[in-house]
Structure 1
Amino acid sequence: MFWLLTMIFLFWTIILVDFHKGFKTLSSIDHLPFRDEKLLISVIIAAKDEEKSIKQTLETLLDQKHVNLEILAVNDRSTDSTGSIIDNLAAHHANVHSITIETLPSGWLGKNHALHIGAQQAKGTYLLFTDADIYFHENVVSRAITFLKNENLDHLTAAPNLRAGSFFLKGLISFFLFGFGYLKRPWTANHPSKKGGMGVGAFQLLTNACYEGIGGHHAIRFRPDDDLAMGLRIKKLGYRQNLVTALRSLSVEWYPDLPSAFKGFEKNAFAGLNYSVLFALLAIAGVFTSQILPFITIWSSRLPLQMISAFTIVLLFYLYALTLRHLTTYSNWIVFGLPIFAVLFIYMLSRALLLTFLRGGIEWRGSHYSLKELKKYYRNSEEE
């Protein structure tokens, strides 16, 4: 057991070096200078049953200054008042365009298809893909486009502030970001090589030429992790990309409560593990061994086990605190809930995988997508 814990400690030591190097490459656009942008930017939003948030999102976009925006709001088969809200705003604002989708063609996921339809009607030199529940603070779009042009980028994606109410929800979200950090290494978006890459659904700004060059959403038409898939594809094909943070300029309530978070995780859990049962089992075992086991063995009666466990726990707390500092606005006190959040994460991942197998696929935005289809299109998108 001592040697296992020593290996875990060495693993986190390596991750610590990577975190320090990676986070240093992440810039914040919250307070960057900006200039007027005359070229047209097409903002494309897919909205399905978003009556609680779509009005605020569109109004905060309409309030953006120093940019020339057209807003294409795509009502994707909504059964609530989303469509009428969009239509009403479009009637009062010439730069808001309402697009309605009645049916979903086979071979597409709903959101990807809606964004694809919106992009087909876009006239801008730049495209901004975003979600229907994002709050855009003052001048964030002008800051982003200025940064993109100054750095000569093809694609800029921004991490927003993920608002959450309860301690446990904040903990689960930040734990997810922590795991995402060491597994996906999002800062690879800022490396010049074609490896890695990143895409955040809240804010994906890219040139129209880049979008067309990667094959648009058609190339990722059956990927539930469409934002990440797009970012990876952009980087793989050699376009210049950057990930920034916008914790004071963009915000979203990712999930209102824990049950919603568990449900929301269903669509991405297996996709994030490449639809591999082996990867899923390794992920569950890995989280338990590396992030829960030290909190158990610290109670051992053997001093060497206690010491290596304590060192590992301190290292984990520090790594978690780095994640909180750079990717959230949460209090650092959350770090002390790490073992609890690890247990919640294992439950959430196990639940998502079990439901995916029992249902034979995922339920998303009112549609069922079979696991067989998801695997098929995942392999095809990787080969393209």
Structure 2
Amino acid sequence: MIGLATLSCVLAALPAALALQNLRRQPRATGRPSGPVLVSILIPARDEEANLPACLAAALASEGVAIELLVMDDGSSDGTAALVRRAAAGDERVRLLAAPPLPPGWTGKVHACARLAEAARGTHFLFIDADVRLAPQAAAALAAHAEDHGLALVTGVPRQRLGSLGEALTVPAINLLMTGYLPGGGRAAGFAGRHDASLAAACGQLVLVEAAAYRAAGGHAAAPGILHEALALARRLRAAGGRTEVVDGSPLASCRMYRNLPEAWAGFARNAREGMATPRGLPVWTLLLAGGHLLPWLALAGGGGATALLAVLLSLGTRAAITWHAREPWWSVPLHPLTVATALAIQWRALLGRPPGWKGRRYDGAAAA
């Protein structure tokens, strides 16, 4: 068991070292753009009647930059369109668009984002989800950061609000992976001076992209059948010579993605095959995640002594530091081993089974019907 304790300590130290570097160096977006800027806030919406009132109110409260707000009703069966129509009647900055039928080979969100960008008039496009609540300074700060640092794309993970055990067992994995396992943390400076497309990162909940760079790279239409649309866009922009960066998103926006474990499981599973859940990738991810965050507890229980205890402390300490930085609830930290186990279970189920549908559409990992 001593050998397992040493292995667990090494695997726990890897994300601890990366997280320490990424947390120390992660940029913060602040300020206001100096030039003439119009930020088009673009929201794809499918059956989002419950989320949109707060989302629209927060977006329309943006300060420090001119905005327009476009909502794409993507075949909703609830009152989404009527709600946006009322908002547009009271504020000329709001426009309601209706998505045309989904073409073959497209996924729903990618199609809605592409159509939104076509209709937008802004110098910058800020793509957000309907469950995101922008801070008043967010649009201005993101645009200013892009302007000040010559960035084609700026993104961040909003502060994740957790209201149930199921959310705490799933959602914190986002920041764990981006902070503890991404060399360079998505910074424009890259890792060891590299700005490779493979090191790009993005969170689809909060993505600002410069309009000219977006069009030059082909926008969302360049990869119509994917589910990780924000990551693909960031990689495409880097491949085209643009600079992209992940900033601290917690002061800029908040988001409650899901309400319970079944929702979260289905949500994370639907795009798993474009991420970790590949035949080659998932065994490696299992070794890294289980070895660094589950094995330490097994080694400690099996008499691994001080080495196993150090591995446990490294694992929990990494998670606690990420949770503090991301402003996630502290009560989720003791659940960390279960969160990692749940993340791996979702990925393996997605790899070995059929991905679930989402809002009435079926996904096969690359296309929607």
Q: Shared topology, TM-score over 0.5?
A: yes
Identify unmatched segments of 5+ residues in structure 1: 375-384
Q: Summarize the alignment of residues 205-216 of structure 1 with structure 2, pairs less than 5 Å apart.
A: 205-216=208-219
- Alignment check: 8 A CA contact 1:171 1:341 kept: yes
Q: Does 1:7 align with 2:1?
A: no
Aligned to 1:378: none
Aligned to 1:363: 357
AA in 1 matched with 2:279: V
Alignment counterpart, residue 337 of structure 2, candidates 315, 328, 339: 339
AA in 2 matched with 1:114: A
Q: Does 1:272 align with 2:275?
A: yes
Per residue, is there more strand in 1 or in 2? 1
Aligned to 1:382: none
Matches of 1:121 and 1:264 in 2, distance apart? 28
AA in 2 matched with 1:91: A
- Alignment check: 8 A CA contact 2:170 2:265 kept: no
Q: Deviations over 1:81-106 (max 9, x none)?
A: 11111122222222211110241110
Q: Does 1:288 align with 2:290?
A: yes
Aligned to 2:101: 103
Aligned to 2:135: 137
- Alignment check: 8 A CA contact 2:48 2:130 kept: yes
- Cα gap change, 1:186 to 1:368, in 2 (>3 Å): farther
Secondary structure class of the residue paired with 2:249: strand
- Cα gap change, 1:51 to 1:355, in 2 (>3 Å): farther
Secondary structure class of the residue paired with 1:72: strand
Secondary structure class of the residue paired with 1:363: coil
Aligned to 2:226: 223
Deviation of residue 282 (structure 1)?
A: 3.9
- Cα gap change, 1:54 to 1:168, in 2 (>3 Å): closer
With a CA cutoff of 8 Å and minimum separation of 6, indicate the structure with the bigger relative contact order.
Answer: 2
Matches of 2:180 and 2:321 in 1, distance apart? 12
Of the structure 1 ranges 290-299 and 181-190, higher mean CA displacement relative to structure 2 is found in 181-190
AA in 2 matched with 1:316: S
Q: Does 1:325 align with 2:324?
A: yes
- Cα gap change, 1:208 to 1:102, in 2 (>3 Å): closer
TM, length-normalised to structure 1 = 0.86
Q: Does 1:297 align with 2:296?
A: no
Q: Deviations over 1:285-344 (max 9, x none)?
A: 54333321221221225xxx222211111111111112112223322x533322222332
Secondary structure class of the residue paired with 1:337: helix
- Alignment check: 8 A CA contact 1:186 1:243 kept: no
Q: Summarize the alignment of residues 25-174 of structure 1 with structure 2, pairs less than 5 Å apart.
A: 25-29=25-29, 32-34=30-32, 38-167=36-165, 169-174=167-172
Secondary structure class of the residue paired with 2:187: helix
Structure 1 ranges of 4+ moved more than 4 A = none
TM, length-normalised to structure 2 = 0.90
RMSD: 2.4
Aligned to 1:233: 236
Secondary structure class of the residue paired with 1:89: helix
- Cα gap change, 1:19 to 1:199, in 2 (>3 Å): same
Matches of 2:359 and 2:195 in 1, distance apart? 32
Secondary structure class of the residue paired with 2:302: coil
- Alignment check: 8 A CA contact 1:155 1:206 kept: yes
Q: Does 1:194 align with 2:188?
A: no
AA in 1 matched with 2:86: N
Q: Deviations over 1:98-125 (max 9, x none)?
A: 1102411101101100110111111211
Deviation of residue 186 (structure 1)?
A: 6.4
Matches of 1:160 and 1:19 in 2, distance apart? 18
- Alignment check: 8 A CA contact 1:8 1:290 kept: yes
Identify unmatched segments of 5+ residues in structure 2: none
Deviation of residue 166 (structure 1)?
A: 2.8
Deviation of residue 55 (structure 1)?
A: 2.3
AA in 2 matched with 1:288: A
Matches of 1:315 and 1:261 in 2, distance apart? 27
Per residue, is there more helix in 1 or in 2? 1
What is the count of residue pairs matched by the alignment?
363
Of the structure 1 ranges 285-294 and 198-207, higher mean CA displacement relative to structure 2 is found in 285-294
Of the structure 1 ranges 187-196 and 315-324, higher mean CA displacement relative to structure 2 is found in 187-196
Alignment counterpart, residue 246 of structure 1, candidates 246, 249, 252: 249
Matches of 2:79 and 2:298 in 1, distance apart? 51
AA in 2 matched with 1:323: I
- Alignment check: 8 A CA contact 1:28 1:245 kept: yes
